[in-house]
């Protein structure tokens, strides 16, 4: 079974990224044959960004993935823009992508509202490039957070329409979303997910935050006027903290509710802070060791790109032939 997932190089990674996606990557590298992970720098260009900072963010993300436990000997880790087959396939897939489907993408609606100077065509076509990222490797499984569910479903639809139109060439993938912690929310505004671009820093726990910063942020996390540690629609803040602790411990939220049924919010926040700091400490320490050596990080990405290109190029031979694109036979 092939596994593929991509992660944007949007600077420092937060707890939502780690629980919702990165942790799945580490688990998947021993199930995938192979497990393929891409730092999707091309996606970062679909909105306003800093070209000077982007290469640095790529290295930040690479070091974080390695610190979390990805092993280049057990998976393929590469930079998206180093494999040109992604962009070629994205263009070819537009022929079987419905304009209406792209209009219905939730993330396009959310992100387009934030673009004040230019609403780019790249943002609109973002899901097609994401589909190409996955379909180029004929991946069977895509580990993602809950916010990417719609994009993976669109990818399935594109693959199925391509196969119905041109022949059975592509694999329609399934998403893999964690049962607990799939959507970690902003600590200051628990009505929206934790996000590097949309959240203020007080609402984010960065993986490389020091212990003091983590404790301070969790102690000041927004809850409600009640006192019971239980999940409820009208208790989004405490529900979020329950989900965080459950994900870290690898148990169901009900177990957390039972354990802290007689606890006050303040005591519960301390318990969550202790768990989060302990959980992230080894990753933070390993990241600090790996991040300074950019030459080594670059070697990892380039070696990974060579391996990825071999797989993607095989897919493109079949796609081009099925679509009647390019030369046929010797010229």
Tell me if 94 sits within 8 A of 325, measured CB to CB.
Answer: no
Residue ranges making up the domain that contains 171? 3-176+294-323
User: For residue 27, how far is the Cα from the chain centroid?
Assistant: 14
Q: Say whether both 117 and 266 belong to one domain.
A: no
Average pLDDT over residues 80-84: 98
Q: What is the pLDDT of residue 144?
A: 87
The Cα 299–Cα 158 span in angstroms is 34
Alpha-carbon torsion 231, 237, 240, 244, what sign? negative
Residue 134 belongs to some domain of the structure: yes
Least Cα distance to 195 among 5, 13, 29, 4 occurs for 13
Q: Does 330 score more than 80 pLDDT?
A: no
Q: Does 113 score more than 70 pLDDT?
A: no
Torsion angle defined by CA atoms of residues 302, 25, 52 and 151, in that order, rounded to the nearest 10 degrees: 110
Q: Say whether both 165 and 205 belong to one domain.
A: no
Q: What is the pLDDT of residue 10?
A: 81
Average pLDDT over residues 135-155: 91
Q: SS3 for 210?
A: coil
pLDDT-based confidence at residue 331 (cuts at 50, 70, 90): very low
What six digits make up the tokens of 296?
């080594």
Q: Say whether both 278 and 313 belong to one domain.
A: no
Average pLDDT over residues 160-180: 93
Residue 121 belongs to some domain of the structure: yes
Tell me if 254 sits within 8 A of 31, measured CB to CB.
Answer: no
Average pLDDT over residues 318-322: 97
């Amino acid at each position: 079974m092939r596994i593929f997932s991509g992660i944007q190089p949007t600077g420092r990674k937060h707890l939502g990224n780690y629980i919702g996606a990165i942790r799945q990557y580490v688990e998947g590298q021993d199930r995938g044959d192979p497990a393929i992970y891409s730092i999707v720098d091309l996606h970062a260009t679909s909105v306003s960004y800093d070209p000077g900072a982007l290469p640095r963010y790529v290295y930040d993300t690479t070091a974080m993935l390695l610190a979390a436990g990805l092993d280049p000997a057990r998976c393929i880790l590469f930079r998206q823009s180093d494999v040109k087959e992604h962009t070629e396939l994205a263009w070819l897939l537009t022929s079987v992508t419905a304009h209406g489907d792209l209009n219905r993408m939730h993330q396009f609606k959310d992100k387009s509202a934030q673009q004040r100077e230019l609403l780019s065509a790249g943002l609109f076509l973002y899901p097609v490039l994401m589909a190409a990222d996955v379909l180029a490797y004929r991946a069977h499984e895509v580990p993602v957070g809950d916010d990417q569910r719609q994009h993976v479903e669109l990818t399935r639809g594109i693959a199925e329409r391509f196969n119905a139109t041109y022949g059975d060439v592509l694999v329609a993938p399934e998403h893999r979303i964690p049962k607990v912690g799939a959507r970690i929310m902003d600590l200051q505004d628990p009505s929206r997910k934790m996000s590097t671009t949309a959240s203020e820093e007080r609402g984010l726990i960065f993986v490389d935050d020091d212990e003091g910063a983590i404790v301070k942020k969790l102690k000041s996390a927004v809850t409600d006027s009640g006192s019971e540690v239980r999940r409820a629609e009208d208790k989004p803040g405490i529900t979020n903290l329950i989900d965080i602790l459950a994900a870290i411990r690898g148990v169901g939220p009900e177990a957390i509710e039972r354990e802290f049924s007689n606890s006050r919010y303040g005591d519960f926040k301390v318990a969550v802070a202790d768990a989060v700091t302990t959980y992230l400490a080894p990753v933070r320490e390993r990241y600090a060791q790996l991040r300074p050596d950019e030459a080594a990080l670059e070697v990892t990405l380039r070696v990974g790109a060579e391996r990825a290109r071999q797989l993607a190029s095989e897919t493109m031979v079949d796609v081009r032939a099925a679509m009647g694109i390019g030369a046929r036979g010797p010229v």
